[in-house]
Structure 1
Amino acid sequence: MSEDFRRRKFDEDDREAVRLLLEHFWILRDRMPAEYSFVRSRLPHLKHYFLDRYGYRIIDHRHFIKLEKIPATPRAWMGIESLTSRRDYVVLCCLLAFLDERQVDEQFLLSQVCEVVKELYPGEEDADPESPRAPLNWESWEHRKSLVRVLNLAVSRGLVRQVDGQVERFARDAESEVLYEVPVVARYFPISYPQELSRFHTLADLLAGTDHVEDRLQSRRHRLHRELLLTPAFFRHEAEPEDFAYLRSQRNRMRDDFENRTPYRMALSKHTAMLVVHEQSHRHHTFPNKKSITDLMLLFAATVRDAFEATTPELDAEGRWPITTVTMENLLHQCREKTAHGWSKAHRELSPAQFGKLLRRELRDWNMIVEAPEQAMVYLCPTLVRLVGRYPSEFTAQHTEEGKKTGKRRSKEKA
């Protein structure tokens, strides 16, 4: 890669094209014609940029543009939001195999999908019928719902075209029919590999096969750029020994590069590296966002910070606060007791167990806690208290005053 390219500054149009490529699975010309033309006009140097920094390639097709975004480390939260079970993902793979055998513009019926997907599904006859390892049975409502979710995803992503009928009826009636059509983009949905997938024996082999460089330094640059781009936070305890030394030595160049070419800024501390945005926008998947659960996470972060400042406990070598699961439950209880008056009705009506499960899952997904159930421990990461949320003092005072009045009224009624 020439030094002239490395020094070339991106203009606003370049950065907007980068944002579009990052925020969309692919840009379909028939659905986003203006965006397609705009990004295509900026492609020559964008291709160089993504290949040099991330080892990512851009597929430039007359019907679509796709940046193949492959994580350095797969994580549980990286799944497709509309798919809710392992069975859904297996059914999706079976659907892809089905489409691979079809011609462009070929039409097919839902009943054909049912027949082929059922044959391809790797079920085990002796498995529990409720397990994703059990064979598909279209008499099962749960199994039909899996296929409905997958087909709705396929239609929304442009993987198939729905010509006639409503797939939701299939959830109620296994005899329902829907007519579909294969678009030209269907076989570009999966990531292409230079070798047959059967040659890869482990997940590590599969991931290594997505980066086609042998130079260790370049491979490290690709991996670290991918970690920063696709994860909320990259921790030193997850990194290889020399990763943070590389980040520290290259931090000025990387900061300038991210700020010049992307909507993000790089933040680096002793134990953590991450990308941040300084202007909240619906266009980015950021924390916090407009979902009410992130408000609860900010309130919990304030509870944790208060508890930490009151006790000043020792941190581990990675800057995390190790606590027992019992202490975690106590902190969740304190947060609920102090702040539930400002929650939404749906969250207030959650049981303590439901609230704890919901909040822990979100905290895990945002890399704010690490759970070690085998040790009955939870590690609170520095990212948890990077941002905290508190109610305005007048709101808290008003609630306290109302609570006193209610308490007096109840006391009189009791008397």
Structure 2
Amino acid sequence: MNELRELLDEYWILKDRDKEKYYKIRDSISKFRSFISDKLGYQVILTSDLIKLEKLPGKAETWMGIYAFDDKLEYAFLCLLLMFLEDKEKEEQFLLSQLTEFIQGTFPGDEKIEWTLYSHRRHLIKVLKFAIDIGFIKVNDGEEERFYTDQSTEVLYENTGASKYFMRNFSGNILKYSTLEDLERDEWLDMDTDRGRIRRNRVYRRIIMSPAVYRHGEDDQDYLYIKNYRNMIQADLEKYLKVDLHVHRNGTFLVLDEEKRYKNSFPENRAISDIVLQVNKIIVNKVRNKELSRNAEDIIIVHKTVFDNIIEEVKEKYSIGWSKEYREMKLEKLSKEVINYMKNFSMLRVDEDNNEIIILPLVGKIVGDYPKDFNNKEKEND
């Protein structure tokens, strides 16, 4: 087990869930503490119950957030749940009705929270499921799923005490912040103005936490740092994480060992991941055949209808090996799923104003196809 990779991959390590992993990582921290402190600028939170690497991104990305959430109200409910737990002791129990009353009475927005509304109940259930999954509350009795249909449902929960370590600590007063840039600058408020260290931490974080680091113009200082110090960066990444650094003119990527993947890495063991590999293959072929052209930054810009046509071509060529769900999926829905997935892995951006898809260099890095005898085997199975 690579203990540092475990800390990067997991939100935190809870002792009551995996005691062996907790102690193994705790005993190994000294081996990589200098790397996470000097190169990443991260801190390790170590308590008798958990270990957490305080992971902050080098740059905010559109795909960042809680994967299970798809509405701002869910983030608001999560914050209120954390507030609710602040006054609770470890192992203290509480009822769902106590939480719903607290949220109704404390919610700061103009929108009134009504538990008679199915949408509000659904959003809260998603937050509770997330809190249970990540480990800062437990269910002692009852099922929150019944809250979907019955607002009077009671569930008995237990506070694990981990919630106090969920949010990061800010140096300044976040109530005075009005932009994302204010939040990003907050971290450096109590640090000396060593621009070299700030850039080093930012670059290492971007390389490790993002699917790709792209060059933005000739004067991109972060990218110049990567090019100038690539040997040092590669040596660090190989020593501590056993990964390879690939630096190209317009993009930098981490290439992982096939047997040692992170949780959210590409490709992954999902049907949509395989489909995107095939989409990438078709796009690369079209570039080679001069059907699509790249600009100086290896970016391809196409109209949304052109991209939809690519998805249709991929479906016609490869769907014989897809699951029934994707074989029968309408083109519009399939295209939307592919776009969202590729956005989350920094493979494309969407220009809503011009109805264009901006295809990024990572697409050309990883492609996939069936074995040459795949179609013959499929016919034999039919």
For the aligned pair, the TM-score class normalised by the smaller chain equals over 0.9
CA pair 202-25 structure 1, distance change in 2 beyond 3 A: same
1:67 Cα deviation after fit? 0.3
What pairs with 1:13-162 in structure 2 (closer than 5 Å)? 16-124=2-110, 134-162=111-139
Residue 178 of structure 1 is matched in structure 2 by 155
The separation in 1 between residues aligned to 2:270 and 2:380, in whole angstroms, is: 29
**Is 1:285 aligned with 2:271?**
no
The separation in 2 between residues aligned to 1:268 and 1:50, in whole angstroms, is: 22
CA pair 145-190 structure 1, distance change in 2 beyond 3 A: same
Choose 264-273 or 177-186, whichever is displaced more: 177-186
RMSD (CA atoms): 2.2
**Is 1:385 aligned with 2:364?**
yes
Choose 31-40 or 316-325, whichever is displaced more: 316-325
1:385 Cα deviation after fit? 2.1
Residue 374 of structure 1 is matched in structure 2 by 353
The separation in 1 between residues aligned to 2:218 and 2:259, in whole angstroms, is: 29
Could you tell me which amino acid in structure 1 is paired with residue 318 of structure 2?
T
**Is 1:353 aligned with 2:341?**
no
The separation in 2 between residues aligned to 1:286 and 1:184, in whole angstroms, is: 30
1:238 Cα deviation after fit? 8.5
Q: What percentage of residue pairs aligned between the two structures are identical? A: 29
**Is 1:306 aligned with 2:285?**
yes
1:98 Cα deviation after fit? 1.1
CA pair 324-65 structure 1, distance change in 2 beyond 3 A: same
Residue 365 of structure 1 is matched in structure 2 by 344
Could you tell me which amino acid in structure 1 is paired with residue 237 of structure 2?
F
User: 1:17·1:39 contact (CA, 8 Å) conserved in 2?
Assistant: yes
Select the structure of larger CA radius of gyration.
Answer: 1
Could you tell me which amino acid in structure 1 is paired with residue 19 of structure 2?
P
Residue 142 of structure 2 is matched in structure 1 by 165
User: 1:58·1:67 contact (CA, 8 Å) conserved in 2?
Assistant: yes
The separation in 1 between residues aligned to 2:21 and 2:275, in whole angstroms, is: 36
Residue 214 of structure 2 is matched in structure 1 by 235
Superposed CA offset, 1:49-106 (max 9, x none): 2111111100111111110111122223222222232211111011111111333333
1:311 match: secondary structure: coil
User: 2:287·2:293 contact (CA, 8 Å) conserved in 1?
Assistant: no
The separation in 1 between residues aligned to 2:249 and 2:261, in whole angstroms, is: 30
1:263 Cα deviation after fit? 3.4
CA pair 181-278 structure 1, distance change in 2 beyond 3 A: closer
User: 2:93·2:156 contact (CA, 8 Å) conserved in 1?
Assistant: yes
TM-score (norm 1): 0.86
The separation in 2 between residues aligned to 1:97 and 1:31, in whole angstroms, is: 24
1:78 match: secondary structure: coil
1:402 Cα deviation after fit? 11
User: 2:287·2:294 contact (CA, 8 Å) conserved in 1?
Assistant: no
Residue 4 of structure 1 is matched in structure 2 by none
CA pair 285-188 structure 1, distance change in 2 beyond 3 A: same
User: 1:21·1:66 contact (CA, 8 Å) conserved in 2?
Assistant: yes
Which residues of structure 1 form unaligned runs of 5+?
1-12, 125-133, 404-415
Residue 337 of structure 1 is matched in structure 2 by 316
Match of 2:165 among 188, 194, 202: 188
The separation in 1 between residues aligned to 2:268 and 2:135, in whole angstroms, is: 27
Residue 394 of structure 1 is matched in structure 2 by 373
1:377 Cα deviation after fit? 2.2
User: 1:19·1:263 contact (CA, 8 Å) conserved in 2?
Assistant: no
What pairs with 1:311-326 in structure 2 (closer than 5 Å)? 311=290, 313-326=292-305
Segments ≥4 residues shifted beyond 6 Å = 398-403
1:282 Cα deviation after fit? 5.5
Could you tell me which amino acid in structure 2 is paired with residue 180 of structure 1?
Y
1:77 match: secondary structure: coil
The separation in 2 between residues aligned to 1:28 and 1:389, in whole angstroms, is: 37
Residue 243 of structure 2 is matched in structure 1 by 264
Which residues of structure 2 form unaligned runs of 5+?
none
The separation in 2 between residues aligned to 1:313 and 1:76, in whole angstroms, is: 26
User: 1:321·1:381 contact (CA, 8 Å) conserved in 2?
Assistant: yes
User: 1:280·1:286 contact (CA, 8 Å) conserved in 2?
Assistant: no
The separation in 2 between residues aligned to 1:164 and 1:206, in whole angstroms, is: 39
Choose 263-272 or 41-50, whichever is displaced more: 41-50
1:162 Cα deviation after fit? 2.1
1:162 match: secondary structure: strand
Q: Give the length in aligned residue pairs.
A: 380
CA pair 395-218 structure 1, distance change in 2 beyond 3 A: same
1:161 Cα deviation after fit? 2.6
Could you tell me which amino acid in structure 2 is paired with residue 164 of structure 1?
D
The separation in 1 between residues aligned to 2:25 and 2:66, in whole angstroms, is: 25
Could you tell me which amino acid in structure 2 is paired with residue 391 of structure 1?
Y
Could you tell me which amino acid in structure 2 is paired with residue 172 of structure 1?
T
Could you tell me which amino acid in structure 1 is paired with residue 79 of structure 2?
C
